[in-house]
Amino acid sequence: MKVTYAKAIGDALKEEMRRDEKVLIYGEDVAQFGNIFGITRGMLEEFGPKRVRNTPIAETAIVATAAGAAMTGLRPCVELMYADFTMVAFTEIFHVVSKWRYMHGPEYKLPLVIRCAEGCANGAGAEHSNVTESLFMHAPGLTIITPSCAYDAKGLLKSAIRSDNPVLFCEPKQLYQVKQEIDDALYESDYTIPIGKADVKRSGRDMTVVAIGLMVPRALEAAEILSREGIELEVIDPRTLAPLDTETIYASLAKTHRAAIVEEGNKTSGVGAELAARFQEEQYDELDGPILRVAALDVPMPYNIPMEKTAVPSVERICAAVRAAL
């Protein structure tokens, strides 16, 4: 069957709510309207208003009440609509959600998932197009997941909901309507994907490309183009940024001896900066050249769609950067 990224997330939510009555969802416009992207449509009718609730536009309250619900035994999966709005609830996510299990002892669990749509999408502008993973990677105790395809989105969201640790689940907007062919029996099984395990999406010998979220399909497309020129990229999707599967990435570096990180977020202090620092510190002897970072330009995201497309890494920009590096 062909499954969209959005449907996979919705199916994961429904399956987990049917499996465990302690799972509940709430957020901005998730009930009657079914979420701005239609992901939770029909869930109010199936699960009722006690488990599917709209909230005021008050992100701090959404996250704070979810933390309280999680500590008392429920498994809330809340939605902040856009990743940009995590900034409104920054204190609750950075201090409360990420730290309270450590602060209050082993009797506390915090099985909480915060879902948010991230990145640019057809002129949403500078306040609705941000990618925020790098900001929250600075918060020890918080799991950060960014799936790049429907199969991974479903399996990772199910794992996130079952986890006793807090999870920030980031969903690139431009992937919502992207379809993936998945075996029917596999998709309909109760499969999960382990948190903290990267996936080698394509094998290659010339350079390791660590691509994140929306950049994974673009890196794979770039790899196909470059393959026709005799350049073979190994594309790795970390899937989970915290914890990061360095074992899989470093095994690739030991084979290719060159590294690139491709991300939708801004270059300065981005995920690529952190990964490049780790590679330099821990894999210096394996590297035959400087670490390449391909990222969004350090500008507020434009409303103008051609300018927006220029700001974010394209397949062509990835290809050009790799050619230059090699």
**% of the chain surpassing 70 pLDDT:** 100
Could you tell me which residue, 197 or 35, shows the higher pLDDT? 197
Count of structural domains, the chain: 2
Question: Are 203 and 168 members of one domain?
Answer: no
Per annotation, catalytic residue among 16, 28, 59, 264: 59
Structure confidence by residue, pLDDT tens digits, 283-316 = 999 999 999 999 999 999 999 999 999 999 999 9
103 occurs within a structural domain: yes
Q: Do 111 and 174 belong together in one domain?
A: yes
> Between these two residues, 258 and 106, which has the higher pLDDT value?
258
Shared domain for 161 and 57, answered yes or no, is yes
Domain that holds residue 182: 2-188
Q: Is residue 194 part of a domain?
A: no
Q: Specify whether 77 is located in the same domain as 122.
A: yes
Residue 98: the pLDDT is 96
Residue range 26-83, pLDDT digits in tens: 999 999 988 889 999 999 999 999 999 999 999 999 999 999 999 999 999 999 999 9
The domain that holds 269 is classified in CATH as 3.40.50.920
Residue 193 is assigned to a structural domain of this protein: no
229 and 171, same domain (yes or no): no
Place 107 in a pLDDT band, splitting at 50, 70 and 90: confident
For residue 72, how many other CB atoms are within 10 A of its CB? Answer: 7
User: Where a domain ends, among 153, 188, 223?
Assistant: 188
pLDDT at 170 over 90: yes
Q: How many other β-carbons are positioned within 10 Å of the β-carbon of residue 42? A: 12
CA distance 287 to 276: 11
Domain shared by 261 and 312, yes or no: yes
The pLDDT score that the predictor gives to residue 106 is 81
Give me the mean pLDDT over the 102-114 stretch.
Answer: 91
% of the chain residues with pLDDT over 90: 96
Residue 110 has pLDDT above 90, yes or no: yes
Q: 247-287 pLDDT, tens per residue?
A: 999 999 999 999 999 999 999 999 999 999 999 999 999 99
Same-domain pairing of 31 and 73 = yes
The reply to whether 31 falls in a domain is: yes
76 in any annotated domain: yes
In this prediction, residue 150 carries a pLDDT of 98
Active-site position among 118, 128, 171, 308: 128
Pick from 159, 188, 217: which residue ends a domain?
188
Specify whether the backbone of 217 is left (phi greater than 0), alpha (psi in -120 to 50) or beta.
alpha
Question: Average pLDDT, whole number, for the chain?
Answer: 96
Q: 169, 188, 207 — which closes off a domain?
A: 188
pLDDT at 181: 97
Q: Based on the domain organization, do 257 and 207 belong to the same domain?
A: yes
Q: What is the CATH number of the domain that holds 83?
A: 3.40.50.970
234 is catalytic: no
Could you tell me which residues come within 8 angstroms of residue 90 by beta carbon, excluding any fewer than 6 positions away?
Answer: none
Cβ 200 vs Cβ 255: under 8 Å? no
Residue 132 CB contacts under 8 Å (≥ 6 apart), including other chains = 83, 84, 86, 87, 116, 118, 170, 265
Do residues 171 and 211 both lie within one domain? Answer: no
pLDDT band at 108 (very low <50, low <70, confident <90, very high): confident
Beta-carbon contacts of 228 under 8 Å, excluding residues fewer than 6 positions away, are: none
DSSP SS3 for 2 = strand
Residue 224 lies in a domain: yes
Does 65 lie in the same domain as 212? no
166 preceded by a cis bond (ω within 30 of 0): no
d(CA 115, CA 108): 22
- If asked whether residues 266 and 142 sit together in one domain, one would say no
Q: Are residues 153 and 297 in the same domain?
A: no
Q: What is the pLDDT of residues 126-151, one digit of tens each?
A: 999 999 999 999 999 999 999 999 99
Its pTM stands at: 0.96
pLDDT per residue as tens digits for the range 179-191: 999 999 999 999 9
Q: Is residue 179 situated within a structural domain?
A: yes
Specify the pairing of strand 167-172 against strand 75-82. Answer: unpaired
DSSP string, 182-223: --HHHHHS-----TT--EEEE--SSEEEEE-TTHHHHHHHHH
